[in-house]
């Protein structure tokens, strides 16, 4: 029997660890034998299980599932969501999940690869439905319909979008890395630098966020932005601070791709109930440029719907503030639509003689990022306004770029030719800037900060140090290297050969940024069990029941009858019995003695409580679930 740990961490509603289980990763951790058995259970052949994630196949499966199996899926969707259903919960008596019928249906879904078995290291079992299947079944149960739509338009302001703040934050780091404290956190001064020009604040995020405690000096929204940029590898931790990471890959993506990535991360930050997860899933797949009614969507969800108030506070309000949706309140309903940015990869810009540059708000991130490398941003409305100044081009030239490259970029996108006067001024700015300074030096790096202090206290060594670089590195003249090497070796500081700086940096282990005190917790308690369950395993003890109790509809001696009913109650199995001249179904709970007569107490077909004297029972049979 094999176990595998999968998923990525976020928080559950009860503050215990919740792992978002992904179907593709889960199946990849099963043995080939178990995967083949799941495929055969679907009546298919081959070795590829990916057909299970096809919406059309899920639709056919849903229609072919038994009512009990559909009820189990509904329970996971409305009550558990991405949380675990533990075996202990099933044993605690909730009539919805403690019956043999529920367990058999659960086992059947495990055999189909819709629900997976987890086992704690010390034996406790749990069950989970992976994220992809939850989404597919949710959208199958409640599909988009015309009643949700409203034939109207909504005001569509283009003044703010959360992705614009992310772009601005990255530009704030472009030429000036963020300082790190000795504890590995970003300094308060650098936090202010990162948030210069941003509209993001702590009020933007919903109260349903469930994050680990933030390390000082971070506020909630500061920690979220840093964590987001770190997870997307847009910031990179080095010994001397936080630098830009792989920004080129991010700006090449479409607006929709970046929005989906952001919403996925926001979803992981939120502490959503299963019903809010349901609402999120069915709305995220809705078409763009269409107005929808919250009340109509909730009506279609029926008993699985969250409250209208929770949708407004946890979804409408924060997503509207972030510019992800447009929304408006109409009487007692909220109308909304996804904000779709129709990006123009080659949208024109308008370079004015006064060095102002205008570009449409829907221009691609790539164009905006290129222009921000040498312009300062003045305002963001339907037309962005940027200004080219002597000060704004200095960092651009410092990074090794030229005036010719700057002018070529402007000419590439400009709808009107650049004036000769502008070209002359930009070229003069470059001449006024000292473009290149080269020093023949070497970098000496010691193992820790205390050793660096010790080096500075030794006159014979410190006289060769020309500059301190961070906590552990020094700059020295190349011509004095051999003398310094002799002094170090005399004092017992052996040094190796001179290393190639680029190779050394590439081989260094990637550092990580600490934002939260504990980080998102990672559970090692539960692991996926690579097993194909037998149907009989759904009811432990079923094999020990006499076959005739299951196959025959007969009458029994009172002592045998009492034992039969007690076994059915223990296994939470349903009874078929003859009572008051009619056939009756009962879920037995216990057998008790009242005034010398044995009675069975349980729940009838309509969940009504019953108390039946054993002497009044005729034929009886334990029903197979």
pLDDT, tens only, 233-284:
999 988 778 999 999 999 998 888 898 889 888 888 888 899 999 999 899 8
pLDDT, greater one: 53 or 517: 53
Which residue in 572, 532, 623, 573 sits closest to 109, CA to CA? 532
Closest CA to 213 of 612, 414, 514, 458: 514
Hey, what are 485's tokens? 């090497």
Backbone angles phi, psi at 241, to 5 degrees: 140, -170
Dist CA 411 CA 599 (whole Å): 93
- Digit-coded pLDDT (tens) for 123-149: 678 899 998 999 999 988 888 777 898
Q: Which residues lie closer than 8 Å to 336 by C-beta, 6 or more apart?
A: 154, 291, 292, 294, 316, 320, 325, 326, 327, 328
| Per-residue model confidence as pLDDT tens digits over 181-209 | 888 889 999 999 999 999 998 888 887 77
Backbone angles phi, psi at 305, to 5 degrees: -75, 145
Sheet containing 125-128: give its strands across: 2-4, 526-530, 116-120, 125-128, 85-86
- Determine how many CB atoms are found less than 10 A away from the CB of residue 439: 9
Q: What is the pLDDT of residue 36?
A: 93
Among 109, 67, 61, smallest CA distance to 85 is for: 109
Res. 115: pLDDT tops 90: yes
Average pLDDT value for residue range 531-552: 82
The mean pLDDT value for 16-28 works out to: 67
pLDDT of amino acid 370: 95
Pairing between strand 383-387 and 441-445? unpaired
d(CA 334, CA 363): 30
In the chain the domains, ranked by start, together with CATH numbers, are: 2-141 (no CATH), 144-341 (no CATH), 350-360+383-432 (no CATH), 441-507 (3.30.70), 542-622 (2.30.30)
Q: What is the mean pLDDT of residues 88-110?
A: 85
Q: Predicted confidence band at 520 (pLDDT cuts at 50, 70, 90)?
A: low
Whether the predicted pLDDT of 485 surpasses 80: yes
Min mean pLDDT across 149-163, 289-303, 558-572 is at 149-163
Average pLDDT score over the chain: 85
Model confidence, pTM? 0.72
Distance CA 414, CA 408 (A): 10
Which tokens in the block code for residue 19? 């792992």
Contact 26, 6 (CB under 8 A): yes
pLDDT of 121 > 70? The answer is no
């Amino acid at each position: 029997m094999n176990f595998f740990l999968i998923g990525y961490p976020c928080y559950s509603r009860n503050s215990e660890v919740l792992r978002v289980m992904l179907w593709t990763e889960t199946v990849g951790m099963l043995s080939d034998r178990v995967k083949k058995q799941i495929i055969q259970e679907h009546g298919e052949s081959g070795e590829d299980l990916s057909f299970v994630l096809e919406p059309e196949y899920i639709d056919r499966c849903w229609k072919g599932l038994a009512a009990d199996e559909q009820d189990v899926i509904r329970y996971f969707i409305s009550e558990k969501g991405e949380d675990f259903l533990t075996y202990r919960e099933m044993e605690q008596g909730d009539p919805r999940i403690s019956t043999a019928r529920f367990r058999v249906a659960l086992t059947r879904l495990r055999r189909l690869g819709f629900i997976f078995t987890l086992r704690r290291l010390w034996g406790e079992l749990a069950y989970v439905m992976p994220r992809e299947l939850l989404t597919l079944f949710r959208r199958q149960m409640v599909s988009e319909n015309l009643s949700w739509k409203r034939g109207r338009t909504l005001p569509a302001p283009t003044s703010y979008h959360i992705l614009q703040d992310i772009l601005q934050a990255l530009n704030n780091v472009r030429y000036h890395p963020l300082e790190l404290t000795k504890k590995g956190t970003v300094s308060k001064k650098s936090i202010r630098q990162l948030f210069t020009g941003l509209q993001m604040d702590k009020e933007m995020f919903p109260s349903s966020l469930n994050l680990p405690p933030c390390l000082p000096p971070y506020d909630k929204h500061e920690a979220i932005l840093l964590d987001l940029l770190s997870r997307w590898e847009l910031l990179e931790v080095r010994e001397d601070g936080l630098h830009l990471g792989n920004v080129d890959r991010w700006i090449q993506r479409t607006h929709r791709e970046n929005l989906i990535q952001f919403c996925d991360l926001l979803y992981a930050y939120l502490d959503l109930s299963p019903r809010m997860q349901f609402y999120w899933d069915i709305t995220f797949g809705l078409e763009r440029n269409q107005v929808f009614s919250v009340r109509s969507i909730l009506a279609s969800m029926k008993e699985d719907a969250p409250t209208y108030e929770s949708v407004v506070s946890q979804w409408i309000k924060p997503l509207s503030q972030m510019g992800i949706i447009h929304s408006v309140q109409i009487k007692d309903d909220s109308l909304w639509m996804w904000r779709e940015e129709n990006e123009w990869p080659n949208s024109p810009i308008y370079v004015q003689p006064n060095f102002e540059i205008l570009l449409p708000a829907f221009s691609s991130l790539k164009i905006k990022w290129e222009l921000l490398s040498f312009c300062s941003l003045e305002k963001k409305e339907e037309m962005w306004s940027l200004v080219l100044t002597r000060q704004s081009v200095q960092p651009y030239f410092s990074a090794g770029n030229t005036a010719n490259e700057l002018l070529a970029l402007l000419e590439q996108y400009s709808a009107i030719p650049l004036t000769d006067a502008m070209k002359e001024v930009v070229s003069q700015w470059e001449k006024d800037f000292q473009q290149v300074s080269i020093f023949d030096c070497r970098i000496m790096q010691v193992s820790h900060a205390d050793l660096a202090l010790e080096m500075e206290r030794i006159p014979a060594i410190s006289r060769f140090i020309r500059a301190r670089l961070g906590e552990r590195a020094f700059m020295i003249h190349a011509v004095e290297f051999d003398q310094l090497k002799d002094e170090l070796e005399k004092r017992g500081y052996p040094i190796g050969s001179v290393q190639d700086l680029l190779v050394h940096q590439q081989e260094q282990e990637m550092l990580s940024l600490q934002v939260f005190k504990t980080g998102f917790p990672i559970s090692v308690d539960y692991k996926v069990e690579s097993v194909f369950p037998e149907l009989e395993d759904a009811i432990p003890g079923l094999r020990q029941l006499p076959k005739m109790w299951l196959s025959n509809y007969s009458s029994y001696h009172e002592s045998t009858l009492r034992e039969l009913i007690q076994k059915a109650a223990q296994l939470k199995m349903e009874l078929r019995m003859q009572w008051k001249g009619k056939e009756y179904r009962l879920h037995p709970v216990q057998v008790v003695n009242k005034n010398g007569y044995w009675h069975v107490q349980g729940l009838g077909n309509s969940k009504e409580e019953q108390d039946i004297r054993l002497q009044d029972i005729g034929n009886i049979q334990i029903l197979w679930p």
